[in-house]
Amino acid sequence: KAGVTQTPRYLIKTRGQQVTLSCSPISGHRSVSWYQQTPGQGLQFLFEYFSETQRNKGNFPGRFSGRQFSNSRSEMNVSTLELGDSALYLCASLATGGMSGELFFGEGSRLTVL
């Protein structure tokens, strides 16, 4: 079956703009989480959605937001972009509600902020 699909794979924005990233989980998976990966901070948890509800949130400013649709697809939005937002944004999906299952990652969306 198809894996986790993230779009776009690469994008370039300028400071002050906003960006929306999309994630389609594996069919049947109801949990979607987002991570930011940077050389300096490593992999950091952004937020998790399960059945359209945000269940967990990391320590990121309010400029970072997300949502999940009824078909489990998720989007994350970053407003008023800063240079430090340049990163690889990874989406992951999980079949069940808990961590006893396997978390499947997409290939990521690489955001460059100029």
| Separation CA 9–CA 110 (nearest Å) | 6
Polymer length in residues for the chain: 114
**Which range in 16-24, 61-69, 77-85, 86-94 contacts another protein by CB under 8 A?**
86-94
* Per CB under 8 A, 107 contacts another protein: yes
Subset of residues 9 to 68 that bind another protein, contact rule: CB under 8 A:
31, 33, 35, 42-45, 48, 50, 55-56, 58
- Residues of this chain that interact with another protein (CB under 8 A) are 4, 31, 33, 35, 42-45, 48, 50, 55-56, 58, 90, 92, 94, 97-100, 102-108
